[in-house]
Structure 1
Amino acid sequence: MTLIIFIIFLASVLSLVLFKVKSGSMAKWAKLFRIVTVVFSISVFTYWFIKKSAVAFVDNSVGLQVINKLPQALDFYLINVNKSDKNITLEPKHIGKIRPEYYRIEYLKMDKSDEYWIVGYLGKKNLVYFSQHSVPNKNIDQIVEVQNYINQSMKLSESAKKQVDAYNYENTKLGIWIALDFLLLFLNLALFLKKNK
């Protein structure tokens, strides 16, 4: 997705430059490029937001219910431990902030994994909960009740913290690119509407 966002950014900048081309043989091609850029950008972002808003149910997955029994709201992350013949990859995902006595449901793709970690943060950087869970039977959904501030493994929790930090950094970077793309898309649309008036 990052590559597509960057391509949209470059195309949008070029569209703004091509707005100055109003006569000659290049004018028609410039206008066509600008129209294609705007339509493509709107299509990609519409698809992306619908995909992000839809329920994240995955076929052949294991349902995971995380229940917060603690007196404070915690920000939870899920890390899926994918194992292959040569290496182990950690795949983080933000579950969200869960208030006391509330829960969230996620769906785990466990075709390359039989283990996952739950990481809980109080605030932005304060890791207060870490638990490691195995999935011996992939036909049974998982329920995790967070009742204590525990850290089951300092070594694994450090790895999890690095993964969460990298995940949040990538999301922040993606958010900045998306904001720039929206600004350029708005400018291109405004120029189209101004010309039509």
Structure 2
Amino acid sequence: MSKIKRGKGAEWAKLFRIVTLVFSISFFTYWFIKKSAVGIVKDSVALQVINKLPQPLDFYVVTLNDPDIQSIETKHIGKIRPEYYRIEYLKMDKSDEYWIVGYLGKKNLVYFSQHSVPNKNIDQIIEVQNYINQSVRLSDIAKRQVEAYNYENTKQGIWVTLDFLLLFLNLVLLLKKRK
């Protein structure tokens, strides 16, 4: 649209570009606020993971939403240093089980535990004190889920970066002074 420089088409092209920029900036502002807001959910279970191991581990929580459909939700808790903790809020409406997966490095799964939630009114505290893998079969499923989650996040990051590049180029071309 920046190639149209004269006539009625140029005015419409400039108006279209301005509207597109305003919409894109509004959309990305809303998206960033939504993504960066604290995930406190009403009627959720607070999960506190405490790392008692000598190395920092990268933790994920996998929630089984519906056992019949095998709907699985994965969240990245974060990299937890030794003697520190992280709190995550889990929406456990349709579920009563979650898994905690810990990685040392990118692909080295060193911790897997399966937990049930008998009472959804009591918050969960998990202390990671040793390297365990409670179930090899379930940890393989969890590993695939974490890999798919990381792949989707990488793909989304690439798209957001390309969108920002287009947004920046469009903004520069729109604000550029004509000689």
CA distance in 1, matches of 2:161, 2:178: 26
Looking at structure 1, the residues matched to 177 and 25 of structure 2 have their Cα atoms a distance apart, in angstroms, of 20
| Partner Cα separation in structure 2 for residue 116 and residue 26 of structure 1 | 57
Tell me which residue corresponds to 2:115. 133
2:41 equivalent to 1:58: yes
Matches within 5 A, 1:17-32: 18-32=1-15
Alignment of 1:150 onto 2:120: no
Alignment of 1:9-24 (within 5 A): 18-24=1-7
Equivalences, count: 179
Q: Deviations over 1:102-152 (max 9, x none)?
A: 000000000010000000000000000000000010000000100010000
Bigger shift: residues 95-104 or 28-37: 28-37
Are 1:176 and 2:158 matched, yes or no? yes
Partner of 1:76 in structure 2? 59
Secondary structure in 2 matching 1:34: helix
The 10-residue stretch of structure 1 (126-135 or 87-96) with the greater mean CA deviation from structure 2: 87-96
Q: CA deviation at 1:196?
A: 7.5
Q: Which runs of 5+ in 2 are unaligned?
A: none
Counterpart CA distance in 2 for 1:103 and 1:46 is 30
Specify the alignment match of 2:69 in structure 1.
87
TM-score normalised by structure 2 residue count? 0.96
Question: What's the secondary structure of 2:96's corresponding residue?
Answer: strand
1: CA distance between counterparts of 2:117 and 2:108? 27
SS in 1 for 2:59: strand
Rounded to whole Å, the distance in 1 between the matches of 2:137 and 2:177 is 61
Quick one: structure 1 residues 189 and 136, their matched pair in 2 at CA, closer, same or farther if it must change by over 3 Å?
Answer: same
Matches within 5 A, 1:90-105: 90-105=72-87
Which deviates further from its counterpart, 145-154 or 26-35?
26-35
Q: Percent identity at matched positions?
A: 78
Helix, strand or coil for the counterpart of 1:40?
helix
Q: Is the Cα contact below 8 Å between 2:14 and 2:174 reproduced in 1?
A: no
Q: Is the 8 A contact 2:64 2:72 kept in 1?
A: yes
TM-score (structure 1 length as normaliser) = 0.87
Structure with the largest fraction of helix: 1
Question: C-alpha offsets along residues 59-104 of structure 1, whole Å, 9 cap, x if unaligned?
Answer: 11000000000000000001011115x4121110101000000000
**How far 1:37 sits from its partner (Å)?**
1.1
Give 1:5's aligned residue: none
| Partner SS state of residue 31, structure 2 | helix
Tell me the C-alpha RMSD between the 2 structures.
1.3
| Aligned counterparts of 2:137 and 2:171: Cα–Cα separation in 1 | 51
Which AA in structure 2 matches 1:164?
A: V
